Amino acid sequence: MASLKKKRRIRMLAFGGVALAASAAIAGFAFNDSIVFFFPPTELVAKAEAGETGPDRRVRLGGMVAEGSVSKVDGGASVTFEVTDGETTMPVTFAGVLPDLFREGQGVVAEGYYRNATFEAETILAKHDENYMPREIADALKENGTWKPEDGVVE
Contacting positions for another protein (CB under 8 A): 6, 9-10, 13, 16-17, 20-21, 24, 28, 32, 35-38, 40, 62, 98-102, 106, 109, 123-139, 152, 154
Q: Smallest distance, Å, CB 28 to another protein? A: 7
> Is the CB of 116 or the CB of 124 nearer to another protein?
124
> Is the CB of 116 or the CB of 148 nearer to another protein?
148
Give 20-26's long-range contacts (Cβ < 8 A, gap of 24+).
Answer: none
Q: Smallest distance, Å, CB 116 to another protein? A: 25
Q: Smallest distance, Å, CB 106 to another protein? A: 8
> Is the CB of 135 or the CB of 143 nearer to another protein?
135
Within 13 Å and on the Cβ side, how many CA atoms surround 100? 0
Phi–psi pair at 92, nearest 5 degrees: -125, 140
Q: Are 59 and 122 in contact (CB under 8 A)?
A: no
Instruction: Indicate the burial class of 1 (C-beta count within 10 angstroms; 0-12, 13-18, 19 or more).
Output: exposed
Q: Smallest distance, Å, CB 115 to another protein? A: 23
> Is the CB of 10 or the CB of 116 nearer to another protein?
10
**E-strand spans in 4-87?**
59-65, 71-73, 78-84
> Is the CB of 14 or the CB of 116 nearer to another protein?
14
Q: Smallest distance, Å, CB 76 to another protein? A: 18
Nearest to 42 by CA among 82, 86, 106: 86
